[in-house]
Amino acid sequence: MAMEAGSGSAGCSARTLAACVIGGIVLGASVLALHLTGPTAIPSLPPLDAVRRRFRRRRRPVRVYMDGCFDMMHYGHCNALRQARALGDELIVGVISDEEIKANKGPPVTPLHERMIMVRAVKWVDDIIPDAPYAITEEFMNKLFTEYDIDYIIHGDDPCLLPDGTDAYALAKKAGRYKQIKRTEGVSTTDIVERSSDAHNHSSLQRQFSSGHGQKVDDGGSGSGTRVSHFLPTSRRIVQFSNSRGPGPDSRIVYIDGAFDLFHAGHVEILRLARELGDFLLVGIHTDQTISSTRGRHRPIMNLHERSLSVLACRYVDEVIIGAPWDVSKDMITTFNISLVVHGTIAENMDFMEDDSNPYAVPKAMGIYRRLESPLDITTSTIIRRIVANHEAYQKRNEKKEASEKKYYESKSFVNGE
């Protein structure tokens, strides 16, 4: 056994010696190579300041810009802003002035201050530029690049032409700073403003809003005259608009419900106040049938899925109930752990507050009901009255828009993007 151990030790020493000799030869060869090639063979490291500058450039957020009228803002506008935000880290939105809209398209339905409230409330928007020009001139484009640090200008795949027929984004494309997103089909301001060219009075205009020009009416046995929308709702689109977070175990959950038809600045402001009262805002969206039964068969103008997306896009909203019940029951309060139920002072119809069948009777009895003073005196009927008052001007505007939209649909092709 001793002999075997000694033999093993001798073998190990021999292998170690051989390894050392080979290592020495390799090391010597390396030193000789360095000597022969000279100092230039060793790569030089960049100065520390240069490294820092490169890191700062990589770390700077990509800022993208999108502009628009955002008149009667709808879920199509919101989806465009969502897509634009996905192309960068920060989205800056230019809201075109009333004067520029009048000069290029006709009078807007909603004035600038209301449109700014709407755009600012979209959860994908980081900042806004009010009174943006309709056409991106070289001067304004350079201002975007230098003062606002904009990297790319974004627009949809539908053409945007100036009155002289030129492309409004030609300069951005030429500069190589333009990116395109996919237009959300099935809705437009033109589509919402007018459904027929022969409306002559308030009641007939409201009928056109609901039934649509040349469109079918979905009676479905429910008595509802709600128009059949061109919008094709998908579960993916709802997920894209939804928040991925739920309330915490100790969250104060505030609930507010309504039709939220033709989602407007009045809706946004009451949602903002409601959200300030808790940690989580849950919004109930009433069904088309419920709204028709309480406000007439020609309401709502936007269907349940369209209204839900508009509300989901609002930064003050955490979650929605799609098709919420008219009555707020004890079971519903328990199921969603609701701490407070609120309602604004401005609404289409407040008569239910005096009825025996008050939908808020249960939360009132529980002492968790509160009325909020609405910041803006605007309802869906307010928006409709504005359209009626300027119907002739909108008719002329829509004739031009309908022609361009027809051309777009006839020549459109698939565009990758959501």
Q: Decide the pairing of beta strands 338-344 and 369-372.
A: parallel
Q: Is residue 157 within 8 Å of residue 78, measured between CB atoms?
A: no
Map tokens 């301001």 to a residue.
189
Q: What number is the average pLDDT over the span 194-200?
A: 36
Instruction: Quote the pLDDT of residue 349.
Output: 73
Strongest mean pLDDT among 39-43, 163-167, 258-262: 258-262
Confidence band (pLDDT; 50, 70, 90) for 354?
A: low
What does pTM read for this prediction?
A: 0.76
Instruction: Quote the pLDDT of residue 295.
Output: 85
DSSP helix/strand/coil, 231: coil
Q: Is residue 239 within 8 Å of residue 264, measured between CB atoms?
A: no
pLDDT per position as a tens digit, 55-69:
555 578 999 999 999
Confidence band (pLDDT; 50, 70, 90) for 139?
A: very high
Instruction: Quote the pLDDT of residue 167.
Output: 83
Tell me: pLDDT of 132 over 90: yes
Q: Is residue 107 within 8 Å of residue 80, measured between CB atoms?
A: no
- Spatial distance between the Cα atoms of 65 and 154, rounded to a whole number of angstroms: 6
Q: What number is the average pLDDT over the span 175-179?
A: 94
Instruction: Quote the pLDDT of residue 263.
Output: 95
- Spatial distance between the Cα atoms of 128 and 94, rounded to a whole number of angstroms: 6
The alpha carbon dihedral of 113, 119, 120, 125 has a sign of negative
- Spatial distance between the Cα atoms of 307 and 59, rounded to a whole number of angstroms: 38
Instruction: Quote the pLDDT of residue 100.
Output: 92
Instruction: Quote the pLDDT of residue 224.
Output: 40
- Spatial distance between the Cα atoms of 211 and 199, rounded to a whole number of angstroms: 12
Q: What number is the average pLDDT over the span 236-256?
A: 93
- Spatial distance between the Cα atoms of 375 and 266, rounded to a whole number of angstroms: 7
Instruction: Quote the pLDDT of residue 244.
Output: 84
Confidence band (pLDDT; 50, 70, 90) for 412?
A: low
pLDDT per position as a tens digit, 328-347:
999 999 999 999 999 999 98
Tell me: pLDDT of 199 over 90: no
Confidence band (pLDDT; 50, 70, 90) for 184?
A: confident
Q: What number is the average pLDDT over the span 181-210?
A: 54
Q: What number is the average pLDDT over the span 282-306?
A: 91
Confidence band (pLDDT; 50, 70, 90) for 214?
A: very low
Instruction: Quote the pLDDT of residue 182.
Output: 87
Tell me: pLDDT of 211 over 50: no
- Spatial distance between the Cα atoms of 166 and 159, rounded to a whole number of angstroms: 10
Q: Which amino acid is at 93?
A: V
Q: Is residue 207 within 8 Å of residue 278, measured between CB atoms?
A: no
